[in-house]
Amino acid sequence: MADLPSVCATIAEMRAVVRAQRVAGKTIAFVPTMGALHRGHAALLHAAHQQADHVVASIFVNPTQFGPHEDFHRYPRTWEADLAVCADAGVGHIFAPSAEEMYPPGARTGVEVAKLQDQLEGLSRPGHFRGVCTIVLKLLNIVTPDTVFFGQKDAQQARIIRQMIHDLNLPVEMIVLPTVREPDGLALSSRNQYLSPAERAIAPQLYRCLADVQARYHEGERQTSALEAELRSELLDITGFRLDYAHVVEADTLMTVDCLHKPGLALAAITLGTTRLIDNVTLP
Ligand code: AMP
């Protein structure tokens, strides 16, 4: 078995590791996660290993990106299995701070990315992206990587973080990797563990509907109203899905346009039982 990564529980320890790597002339790649690692996370970790001399992964279930009635307390925590995934991917260090370490009492500063944060997930989950951007900026300030990896699974998050990195002149290269899926199309997600067998059986329909819209786009359809109407009606037809949103937007602005002249995204969020699932496809 591969060597287990070393674990840093404090910011001071993490900074000392980074300093030592820098003194040794090493490059650093960073993969922020909330743990419950699956093959989607593993793809990011393996790509990070290809990219840099030293890989740091963070495992931190960030309380500030969960709403008061969301699943923070039941979010899966699978520490031992996560260690094995990190070891297999060649992770050098795991940064796993406590909530108190990251948010000592009295903190007042938060990062907001205007407009991009206010639609889609942002409408359904007020304050979510403020929580995400603030923790990602803090982590980037602590780990100071050369490269940071994110997944296209969270397309709006990736777009917003790219904007934050640009606007705040953060000296880091951002790489976004495609969504890793189960053989039946379901996007891997830590939240898939919540699904009952019956729910798991219908969950892949979310991707099937998105893939149908992508096929229609590839056939030449550019009117977002037509693409969106098809997506919505297909999703509404699936017994068991409660539709939160289904939109076709411009990938860069995340805004609705009449006709897609630039690359787009089709995104949807549904609830299945008590599990909220999101997915998206690119319309390149
Ligand atoms: P999370 O642990 O859910 O915060 O995710 C950590 C990172 O893994 C984020 O950049 C996600 O976009 C990415 N990720 C989550 N699921 C997948 C997936 N199925 N394929 C690729 N990347 C993913």
Q: Do domains 6-177 and 195-275 have the same CATH topology?
A: no
DSSP state of 4: P
Protein residue with least CA distance to atom 14, ligand 1: 151
**How is the chain split into domains, by residue range?**
6-177, 195-275
Neighbours of 223 (CB within 10 A): 13
Q: Is the CB of 190 under 6 A from ligand 1?
A: yes
Low-confidence ranges of the chain (pLDDT < 50): none
CATH of domain 195-275: 3.30.1300.10
Q: Which ligand 1 atom is at minimum distance from the Cα of 176?
A: 10
Strands 241-250 and 264-272: antiparallel
Q: Is the CB of 280 under 6 A from ligand 1?
A: no
Dihedral angle sign, alpha carbons of residues 66, 134, 99, 54:
positive
CA–centroid distance, 153 to ligand 1, in Å, is 6
Protein residue with least CA distance to atom 11, ligand 1: 151
The CATH class of 6-177 is: alpha beta
Strands 6-8 and 264-272: unpaired
Q: Is 41 a catalytic residue?
A: yes
DSSP state of 154: G
Q: Dig out the tokens for 254 from the structure.
A: 């995340």
pLDDT for the residue numbered 3: 83
Residues 192, 203: Cα–Cα separation, whole Å: 9
Smallest CA-to-CA distance from 231 within 264, 189, 200 is with 264
pLDDT digits (tens, 9 = 90+) for 149-195: 999 999 999 999 999 999 999 999 999 999 999 999 999 999 999 99
**Spatial contact of 21 and 29, defined as CB atoms under 8 Å apart:** no
Sorted by sequence, the CB contacts under 8 Å of residue 90 that are 6+ apart come out as 2, 45, 46, 49, 55
Q: Is the CB of 82 under 6 A from ligand 1?
A: no
CA–centroid distance, 154 to ligand 1, in Å, is 7
3-state helix, strand, coil split of the chain in percent (to 5) is 40, 20, 40
Q: Which ligand 1 atom is at minimum distance from the Cα of 179?
A: 20
pLDDT for the residue numbered 2: 73
204: left (phi over 0), alpha (psi -120 to 50) or beta: alpha
Residues 151, 174: Cα–Cα separation, whole Å: 11
pTM of the model: 0.97
Q: Is the CB of 148 under 6 A from ligand 1?
A: no
Q: Is the CB of 57 under 6 A from ligand 1?
A: no
